[in-house]
């Protein structure tokens, strides 16, 4: 893991190579994170992989987060690993909620990092984040006819009621 | 002299008896000729003939030769497996032959939570089983959703297939599953157990009548009204296979039973 200074160096070099790519950084709980522009995610991950001295060649995990009261609302985390130095860095792409009936979009990285294929499908499945140009973007864990994005924070917890003796009067006609 | 002839007609008494076709024919002819009469005939019938009803025999056979499906859903399946082990030994009740195909099984044990993705599969397994068939819902999850009040789990398996026995527990002990299985056997044999409310005369203690622990005037009225309902329903129906136990019919909307307050409605979790 790069220390705080190293993280700022990465940020500066990355912003030199790709202007406005890195929005912010943090270095907390022993973790280094680059908060980046989602539209440039392919260039950023490619730069971190291919630049001599960086070489974060291994994409360990892709996952989504919903930070609901915060804006931008969604985050997609890419956990990178340099296997030679055993250094990890996290890249968080930020996405704002486009509102009702629209889904947040960002480019896929699954052609360059094949491991991202299924993991982007999982992020799509649970958070409704669309990865543009993904070869096979459909639900992976939930049933294909499922409606809704169940891991979003505003998804209703619970769902259908259960009939106990103390609730049977509230569920009219259940016995018919 | 006649006693010896009778003994000759009882195959178990003399294992050394010659079983050739001729001997059996001669014996049958003796019987047809009315060789045995009076008290001897009575005794012969008493010792070797059992009368019953055909459906009773069928149900007795069904209840004591159940083939459960080899089907585990979650952690309850571990307890279900140990039911077959020598320590608990469901073979005592004739249900040790777990069939690996639903077409050979007649009991489905839902041992664990049923996710919404698994529910159509379980339903298809149930549909593939041949009649008569029974379903035991094992544990809190398959009975009510249990701790999984979320988007992925069906809140109670009886939403998509008929369940005969619910075994509570998280997970139930193997003894509990065996107890539930014994109850199922008695249901199949047409003599279902009475429910605990009937057994302990506890009608009127339903949660909806209790008003969250506080004994109010309305709750007291509800107790009395529920007792009226229970008494009007009379003795629990029994003697029919598959009769639901401890259900006096659908809950009645009655003017003298106070409805639950509005704030309680729709609160399930």
Q: Which of A155, A165, A175 sits opposite B250 (nearest CB)?
A: A175
Q: How many CA atoms lie within 13 A of B144 on its CB side?
A: 16
More confident residue, A14 or A175: A14
With contacts defined as CB-CB under 8 Å, which chain B residues touch A160? 155, 159
Of A155-169, B57-71, B245-259, the one with minimum mean pLDDT is: B245-259
CB contact under 8 A, B144 and A150: no
Q: Which of B117, B208, B269 sits opposite A169 (nearest CB)?
A: B208
Domain-by-domain residue ranges, chain B? 2-51, 60-188, 196-264
In what side-by-side order are the strands of the sheet with B165-167?
B107-111, B134-138, B165-167
Does ipTM surpass 0.90 in this model? no
pLDDT > 90? residue A57: yes
Q: Residue A24: which pLDDT band, with cuts at 50, 70 and 90?
A: very high
With contacts defined as CB-CB under 8 Å, which chain B residues touch A166? 206-208
The whole-angstrom distance between A147's CA and the closest CA on chain B is 11
CB contact under 8 A, B149 and A158: yes
More confident residue, A16 or B4: A16
CB of A139 within 8 Å of any CB in chain B? Answer: no
What pLDDT is recorded for position B33?
Answer: 57
Mean pLDDT for the stretch of residues B206-225: 63
What pLDDT is recorded for position B6?
Answer: 52
**pTM score, whole prediction:** 0.68
The whole-angstrom distance between B149's CA and the closest CA on chain A is 5
- Which pair of tokens denotes residue A142? 């939930």
Nearest residue to B244 (alpha-carbon basis) of B207, B206, B208, B198: B198
Q: Which of B155, B207, B259 sits opposite A165 (nearest CB)?
A: B207
User: Over chain A, what is the mean pLDDT?
Assistant: 88
Q: Residue B154: which pLDDT band, with cuts at 50, 70 and 90?
A: confident
- The CA distances from residue A23 to A10, A12, A20, in Å, are 12, 11, 7
More confident residue, A111 or B247: A111
Task: Please write the tens of the pLDDT for every residue from A97-132.
Answer: 988 789 999 999 999 999 999 999 999 999 999 999
Q: Which residues pair with A65 in a beta bridge?
A: A75
- The CA distances from residue B12 to A87, B6, B9, B16, B255, in Å, are 84, 12, 9, 10, 68
CB contact under 8 A, B155 and A159: yes
- The CA distances from residue B77 to A23, A86, B137, B198, B246, in Å, are 50, 41, 12, 32, 28
Q: Which domains does chain A have, with CATH numbers?
A: 4-170 (3.30.460.80)
More confident residue, B203 or B168: B168
CA B75, B100, B65 angle in degrees (round to 5)?
95
Mean pLDDT for the stretch of residues B116-142: 92
At the second CATH level, the architecture of B60-188 is: 3-Layer(aba) Sandwich (3.40)
Q: Which of A157, A165, A170 sits opposite B266 (nearest CB)?
A: A170
Gap between the Cα atoms of B246 and B215, Å rounded? 25
Of A138-152, B6-20, B188-202, the one with minimum mean pLDDT is: B6-20
């Amino acid at each position: 893991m790069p220390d705080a200074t190293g993280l700022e160096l990465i940020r500066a070099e990355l912003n030199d190579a790709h202007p406005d790519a890195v929005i912010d950084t943090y270095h907390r709980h022993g973790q280094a994170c680059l908060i980046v522009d989602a539209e440039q995610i392919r260039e950023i991950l490619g730069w971190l992989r291919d630049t001599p001295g960086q070489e974060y060649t291994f994409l360990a995990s892709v996952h989504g987060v919903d930070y609901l009261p915060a804006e931008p609302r969604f985050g997609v985390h890419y956990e990178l690993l340099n296997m030679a130095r055993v250094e990890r860095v996290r890249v968080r792409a930020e996405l704002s909620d486009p509102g009702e009936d629209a889904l947040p979009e960002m480019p896929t990285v699954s052609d360059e990092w094949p491991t991202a294929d299924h993991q982007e499908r999982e992020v799509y499945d649970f958070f409704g984040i669309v990865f543009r140009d993904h070869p096979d973007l459909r639900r992976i864990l939930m049933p294909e006819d499922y409606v809704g994005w169940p891991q979003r924070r505003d998804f209703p917890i619970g769902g259908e009621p259960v009939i106990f003796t103390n609730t049977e009067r509230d569920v009219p006609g259940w016995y018919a | 002299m006649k006693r010896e002839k009778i003994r000759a007609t009882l195959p178990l008494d003399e294992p050394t008896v010659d079983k050739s076709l001729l001997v059996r024919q001669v014996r049958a002819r003796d019987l047809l000729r009315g060789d045995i009469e009076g008290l001897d005939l009575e005794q012969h019938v008493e010792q070797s003939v059992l009368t019953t009803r055909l459906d009773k025999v069928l149900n007795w056979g069904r209840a004591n030769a159940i083939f459960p499906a080899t089907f585990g859903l979650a952690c309850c399946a571990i307890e279900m497996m140990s039911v077959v082990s020598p320590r608990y030994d469901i073979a005592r009740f004739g249900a040790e032959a777990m069939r690996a195909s639903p077409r050979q099984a007649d009991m489905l044990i839902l041992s664990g939570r049923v996710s919404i993705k698994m529910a159509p599969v379980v339903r298809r397994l149930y549909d593939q089983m041949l009649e008569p068939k029974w379903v035991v819902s094992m544990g809190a999850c398959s009975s009510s959703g249990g701790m999984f009040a979320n988007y992925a789990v069906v809140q109670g398996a009886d939403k998509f297939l008929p369940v005969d026995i619910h075994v509570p527990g998280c997970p139930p002990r193997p003894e509990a599953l065996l107890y539930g299985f014994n109850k199922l056997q008695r249901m199949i044999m047409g003599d279902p157990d009475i429910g605990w409310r009937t057994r302990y005369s506890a009608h009127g203690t339903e949660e909806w009548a209790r008003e969250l622990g506080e004994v109010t005037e309305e709750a007291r009225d509800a107790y009395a009204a529920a007792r009226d309902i229970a008494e009007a329903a009379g003795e629990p129906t029994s003697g029919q296979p598959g009769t639901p136990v401890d259900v006096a019919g659908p809950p009645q909307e009655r003017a003298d039973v106070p409805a639950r307050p509005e704030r309680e409605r729709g609160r399930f979790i």
